Structure 1
Amino acid sequence: MRIAINAIFLQNNPMEGYGHYTAEVLSRMVALHPEDEFLLLYDRAWQIPFITAPNVHSVLVPPAARHPLSFKYWYDIKATRAVKKWKADVWFQPYGFCSVTSSVPQVLMIHDLAFLHHPEYISWHQRAYYRWFTPAFLRKAKQVITVSEFSKADIIKTYRTDETKIQVNGGAVRKGFQPMEWEEKQAVKDGYADGREYFLFIGGIHPRKNLLNLLKAFSHFKKWQHSNMKLLVAGRKAWQYDDLLEKIKTYKYREDVVLLDYLPEEQLQRVTAAAYALVYPSWFEGFGLPILEAMQCGVPVICSNTSSMPEVAGDAALLVDPADPDAIAKEMLSLYRNEGIRNAFITKGLERAGQFSWDTSAVAIYESLRKAALSV
Structure 2
Amino acid sequence: ILWRLWFDLRVPLVLRRIKADVFVSPDGYASLTTKVPQCLVVHDLGFLHQPDAYKAIHLGYLRRRLPRFVRRARQVATVSHFSLRDLQQQYGVPDEKLTVVYSAVKESFRPLPYAAQEEVKAQYTGGHEYFIYAGALQPRKNIINLLKAFSLFKKRQRSNWKLVLAGRMAWKNDELLQLLATYKYRDDVVLTGYVEEPELVRLIGAAYALVYPSFFEGFGVPVLEAMKCGVPALTSQDTSMSEIGGTAALYFDPKEPASIAEMMMYIYKDEDGRARLIEEGFRQAAQFSWERTAEALWESILKTAPLSP
TM-score category (smaller protein): over 0.9
Partner of 2:20: 88
- Number of residue pairs matched? 308
In structure 1, how many angstroms separate the alpha carbons of the residues matched to 2:84 and 2:16?
Answer: 30
Given that 1:305 and 1:322 are in contact with CA atoms closer than 8 Å, whether structure 2 keeps it comes out as yes
* One-letter amino acid of the counterpart of residue 265, structure 1: E
Moved more, 105-114 or 242-251: 242-251
Partner of 2:303: 371
TM-score, normalised on structure 2? 0.97
Q: Deviations over 1:156-194 (max 9, x none)?
A: 111111111100011122121111221110011111111
Q: Percent identity?
A: 46
* One-letter amino acid of the counterpart of residue 93, structure 1: S
Q: Deviations over 1:202-247 (max 9, x none)?
A: 1111000000000000000000011110000111111111321221
Given that 2:212 and 2:233 are in contact with CA atoms closer than 8 Å, whether structure 1 keeps it comes out as yes
Q: The residue matched to 1:374 in structure 2 has which SS?
A: coil
Moved more, 347-356 or 76-85: 76-85
Q: The residue matched to 1:238 in structure 2 has which SS?
A: coil
1:291-330 → structure 2 map (5 Å cutoff): 291-330=223-262
Task: Work out whether 1:268 is the aligned partner of 2:206.
Answer: no
CA shift for structure 1 position 375: 8.1
Given that 1:189 and 1:197 are in contact with CA atoms closer than 8 Å, whether structure 2 keeps it comes out as yes
Partner of 1:248: 180
In structure 1, how many angstroms separate the alpha carbons of the residues matched to 2:88 and 2:209?
Answer: 35
CA shift for structure 1 position 371: 3.1
Given that 1:107 and 1:141 are in contact with CA atoms closer than 8 Å, whether structure 2 keeps it comes out as yes
Q: Deviations over 1:13-41 (max 9, x none)?
A: xxxxxxxxxxxxxxxxxxxxxxxxxxxxx
TM-score, normalised on structure 1? 0.80
* Structure 1, gaps ≥5 residues long: 1-68
**Please, which of 147, 153, 165 is the counterpart of residue 97 of structure 2?**
165
Partner of 1:29: none
Partner of 1:103: 35
Partner of 2:4: 72
Q: Quick check: which one's helix share is greater?
A: 2
CA shift for structure 1 position 293: 0.7
Partner of 2:46: 114
In structure 2, how many angstroms separate the alpha carbons of the residues matched to 1:224 and 1:157?
Answer: 42
In structure 2, how many angstroms separate the alpha carbons of the residues matched to 1:190 and 1:242?
Answer: 31
Task: Work out whether 1:228 is the aligned partner of 2:160.
Answer: yes
* One-letter amino acid of the counterpart of residue 309, structure 1: M
RMSD: 1.3
In structure 1, how many angstroms separate the alpha carbons of the residues matched to 2:295 and 2:236?
Answer: 30
In structure 1, how many angstroms separate the alpha carbons of the residues matched to 2:237 and 2:158?
Answer: 27
* Structure 2, gaps ≥5 residues long: none
* One-letter amino acid of the counterpart of residue 62, structure 2: Y
